[in-house]
Structure formats: C-alpha cells, structure tokens
C-alpha cells in the first residue's frame, strides 16, 4: 500500500510525518536538528530512502546533511564523515560552497549591483532550496543566498557553482526586502538538460544545456512598484514558479503582486490573477493529476503578511487561472493572521491528490481530497519554512 511522508522544515528543526494512503492518522518524528533553522529538506524521486536537508545556525553556519534510510539517521555526506551529534551538528568540518570566480566561466567577476549603485562581492549566507535529480539520487542542486546555483554529483560531498547563471545580467541583480536568494529550481523530465530557477528579486532564468548557459525569461512581467523600466529583463521579484511534469511547457508563477502563466516555457507571461481577493502571496502548486488545476494562498499585501480579512483560504483554479474558488472547509475563517511561505505548500501523487501547507503559526494542514476539506495534521510546531512530500510504498 502507498504511503505518504511529509518533510517539514521549521525555524527550530525538521519534522517527518508519515501516513498510509488513507492519510487519516499521522506518525510524527522530530525534531531532527533541534534548534537549527531548516530552510528546506527534500527527498529523491528515484530513491525513497534518500533525503537531503539544509540546516543553518548562527553558530555552525550552513550545513547539508542527508539520510539514506528515510530520515531515521542523518550524516554529512562524504567518506569518513561521522553521523550527527545529539544537537544535530555534524562532527568535523562542514560542507564547503565556493562561488566560482574563474575567468573561464565568464562570470562577471565576483560582484553585483546594489541599490546604492555600488559594486559589492557575492556573500554566501545559506541554502534556501534543494532539488534532487530526476534520474540520479547522488545528483542534487542547491539554491543559495546570495543568489547562486550549486550542483553536487556525489551525494552532497562536494558542490560546484553553475556560474554561467551569473552571466544572465547578474551584475544588475539587486536584493529585495527578503534578501537575494535562489529559492526555486524546476527540472524537466522530458528535457533533462533544461533547468528553470527563480531568484528574489531578479526574476526567472532558464538553461537548456544542463546549467552551462542561461538567459532571463521574464517577458511580460510588470513590476511598476519595483522597477522604473517596464521592459526590464531582470529585477522582478518572483516568489515561486511551478509546473506539471506532463506539461513542462506551461509554467505558473506567484510574483510579488500578480499570479501569472507561461505557455511557452517561460518565453512570455500573462497575468491570471482574475477574481483573487489579493494577487500577493508566496506559494503556488499544481494538482498531481490535473495539470490545469493550480493552488495559491493569497496574502493581504507586501507589508501585511497575513490572509485578507483574517480568513485562511486556499484558492483553486481548475481552468489554469483567471477563475478562482476559495477552499475553506476546515480552515480558520476568523482571527487568523499567519503567513504561508514560498516553499510551504506541496502535493502528493496519490489519487485523490493530497494538498499540504504549513504556516508561520506552526500548523500543518492537509487535504486528502484535492482541497475540498482540510484538517490540521499537526499544530504548535515552530514556524514552518517548507513542506515537501514523498509518496512511496
């Protein structure tokens, strides 16, 4: 029988929730790495036991660890690395992420443009997002702050920057209110050399040659509050992008204001916000079996990060946008002032499709019927930073 594993990253550790296909009773494991900020953890789509985790602390810095047994035990990748200590910290030296400054990459030196017009060096702060390969459990991508894309082909032991990304006008990228992070990585199973990334606040970018060369894919994005030039190729504050594996030419975007769609692999974008109560938000997800069904969680504004009217509502469009319906059964409809962050919504692969999201108030909600009704799976966790799903046997 199929099972579902939820991988929850929070401000104070990671939690793993497991249920059978009915998704009624959940076993909770955690906190793993208690006290650490867990920005993201994600499982391999080709090895149900392989999970990668990004953990950050002010004391130990940034560490990537992995599990080869579904989250029961963890270790820092590499021959001879010991398993974690009781406080979640790896013994010995932590991972090394080095920005590529070689002239052979064509990268624009080691600097980028800031708001005051100065040129400042890239600074490595943390890994926001991990994306395991669709074909190889030992290959995994990592999106960093400040914005860069890294790849490991040895299970996380060594990491090399795909520095060609910074040739896509990287000297013009500027941090937004939340910094400048590479937070979304999409891989295309029908075109294994194609990679999409989204950067806050630079925009979306695409590579068709496995990360060697890149170009901006932001035509049609309007950022009148952030950019004086309506035709700007970069500088757009994209919050998240999503696609269905069966239709990779169609992309959906939640932007800093506006929900959008591309029908040509990101070459151009059209607004599909329609009747949403607010077109500001962070996550966006696509139904596992219905590529035209998408989900968003509207947030009141960029200064008021909570649901409009204090009502927690997931909105669903079954038409690929424009027409939206609120999904509220089981969700609080008064005095709810939580936020749902960009990586905090995911879907499983079961039928009917399960939808899950976590809040900054520490609740994780789930729907086993495509969003018709919801129930809290857990509550009183630390603020939830990310939610991912593995479906396995």
Q: pLDDT tens for residues 30-67?
A: 999 999 999 999 999 999 999 999 999 888 888 999 99
Given pLDDT bands bounded at 50, 70 and 90, which one contains residue 122? Answer: confident
Task: State the average pLDDT over residues 146-171.
Answer: 91
Task: State the average pLDDT over residues 309-332.
Answer: 98
Task: State the average pLDDT over residues 373-391.
Answer: 97
User: What's the pTM?
Assistant: 0.92
- Nearest Cα to Cα of residue 197 among 149, 255, 268, 252: 149
Q: What is the largest CA-CA distance in the chain?
A: 58
- Lowest-confidence segment of 82-86, 222-226, 286-290 by average pLDDT: 82-86
- Lowest-confidence segment of 6-10, 112-116, 370-374 by average pLDDT: 112-116
Per-residue pLDDT, 273: 98
Residues 6 or more apart in contact with residue 297 via CB below 8 angstroms: 281, 282, 283, 307, 312, 313, 314, 315, 340, 345, 357
Report whether pLDDT(94) > 70: no
Given pLDDT bands bounded at 50, 70 and 90, which one contains residue 117? Answer: low
Share of the chain above pLDDT 70, in %: 88
- pLDDT tens-digit map of 236-268: 999 999 999 999 999 999 999 999 999 999 999
C-alpha to C-alpha distance for 173 and 166, rounded to whole angstroms: 9
Question: What is the helix, strand, coil percentage profile of the chain, to 5?
Answer: 5, 40, 55
- pLDDT tens-digit map of 13-24: 999 999 999 999
Report whether pLDDT(86) > 60: no
Six token digits for residue 384: 């939830």
Per-residue pLDDT, 231: 78
Per-residue pLDDT, 176: 79
C-alpha to C-alpha distance for 271 and 259, rounded to whole angstroms: 6
CB contact at 8 A, 20 and 1: yes
Mean pLDDT of the chain: 90
Per-residue pLDDT, 254: 98
């Amino acid at each position: 029988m199929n099972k579902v594993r939820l991988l929850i990253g929070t401000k104070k550790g990671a939690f793993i929730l497991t249920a059978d296909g009915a998704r009624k009773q959940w076993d909770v494991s955690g906190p793993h790495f208690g006290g650490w900020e867990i920005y993201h953890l994600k499982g391999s789509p080709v090895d149900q036991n392989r999970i990668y985790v990004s953990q950050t602390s002010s004391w130990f810095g940034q560490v990537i660890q992995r599990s080869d047994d579904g989250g029961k035990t963890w270790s820092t990748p590499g021959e001879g690395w010991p398993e974690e200590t009781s406080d979640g910290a790896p013994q010995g030296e932590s991972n090394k992420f080095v920005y590529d400054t070689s002239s052979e990459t064509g990268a624009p030196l080691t600097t980028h443009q800031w708001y005051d017009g100065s040129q400042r060096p890239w600074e490595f702060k943390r890994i926001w997002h991990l994306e395991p390969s669709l074909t190889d459990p030992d290959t995994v991508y990592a999106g960093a702050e400040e914005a860069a894309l890294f790849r490991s082909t040895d299970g996380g032991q060594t990491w090399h920057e795909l520095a060609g990304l910074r040739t896509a006008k990287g000297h013009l990228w500027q941090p937004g209110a939340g910094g400048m992070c590479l937070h979304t990585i999409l891989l295309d199973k029908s075109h294994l050399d194609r990679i999409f990334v989204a950067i806050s606040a630079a925009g979306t970018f695409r590579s068709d040659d496995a990360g060697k060369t890149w170009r901006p894919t932001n035509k049609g994005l309007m950022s009148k509050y952030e950019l004086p030039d309506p035709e700007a190729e970069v500088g757009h504050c994209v919050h998240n992008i999503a696609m269905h594996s069966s239709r990779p030419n169609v992309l959906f975007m939640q932007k800093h204001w506006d929900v959008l769609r591309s029908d040509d692999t990101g070459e151009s974008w059209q607004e599909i916000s329609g009747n949403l109560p607010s077109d500001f938000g962070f996550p966006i997800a696509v139904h596992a079996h219905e590529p035209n069904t998408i989900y968003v969680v509207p947030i009141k504004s960029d200064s008021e990060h909570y649901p409009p009217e204090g009502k927690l509502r997931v909105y669903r469009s079954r038409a690929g946008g424009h027409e939206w319906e609120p999904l509220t059964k089981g969700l609080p409809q008064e005095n709810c002032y939580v936020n749902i962050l960009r990586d905090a919504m995911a879907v499983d692969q079961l039928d009917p499709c399960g939808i899950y999201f976590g809040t900054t108030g520490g609740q994780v909600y789930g729907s086993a019927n495509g969003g018709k009704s919801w129930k809290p799976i857990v509550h009183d966790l630390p603020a939830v930073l990310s939610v991912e799903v593995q479906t396995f046997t």
